[in-house]
Structure 1
Amino acid sequence: MNLVFRIVADGLNWIASVTGFTYNEINIIVYYIILPFIYVALVDRILKKHFFKIAYAIVWVVLIVFIPNFRAFSDTLFQASVDFLLFFGYVGLNYVAASVVICVILPGLVFAVLCLFAFPSLRRSLFTKHETPTSA
């Protein structure tokens, strides 16, 4: 768990250093904007529509326009996320373990399931038996 947490945190820190955003801003951009957009785009692909991704993008554009200070907004939302992850201490998960489960494993599972439905050829190639030729 510690290794996965460190890899993700170091990756987010690197992105922050390259872009000039803070770690908290990058965290919010990735986990509250980009990942959900990917999920919404996959749902649209499953439904063969464009509604959800367009609506999602419009909502975030409007929010960003009306948020007076994105850094302060990100700091507040990041702290709320930390508090949420710390809550899992009541069930025996420390902050690092909760972060990996909630922010890496769960999103990965959601992504995998949505991909299976969004890309039927992927699902078929993974779950259909391939007959091997037999020699006579």
Structure 2
Amino acid sequence: MQLSEELTRLFTLLWRITNDQRRGATLARLEYLILARLYREGAMRAGDLAHIEGLDPSTLSRRVAALVDRELLLRETDPDDRRAQQLQLTDAGRAQFLAEQQRRVAQVTDAVAHWPATDRTMLAHLLHDLNDSLQKKAAS
């Protein structure tokens, strides 16, 4: 068993499970990422959001427009630069994100619910360490 093969399989399965509308997905992956970032960090400019998430600005612009049309995001004047706009979650956007987050977490926790608690704890610690290592690599 190769680590890289198992990680590829994990990412593929997680993407499939979390984005499957038959399983109740209400947000596409990119929409979820946008709402998650704004939920965690608050209002920000679209250009900053594109940079942080490593997205093409035109791709982000189309998704933002769709989220604004669905009243999940607002465009507001940036208080630091009245010529610019910031993206902000609406109450509906916050509620939609939290519901989708809960659904996605349940997909994973349900899959390991039958595991012994020590195994679930060990997996969480190992994933935490992996995420820290990958974050350091991404920052360098």
Normalised by the shorter chain, which TM-score bucket?
A: 0.3 to 0.5
Higher helix share: 1
Q: Which has the higher contact order (CA 8 A, sep 6+)?
A: 1
**TM-score, normalised with respect to structure 2:** 0.34
**TM-score, normalised with respect to structure 1:** 0.35
Higher strand share: 2
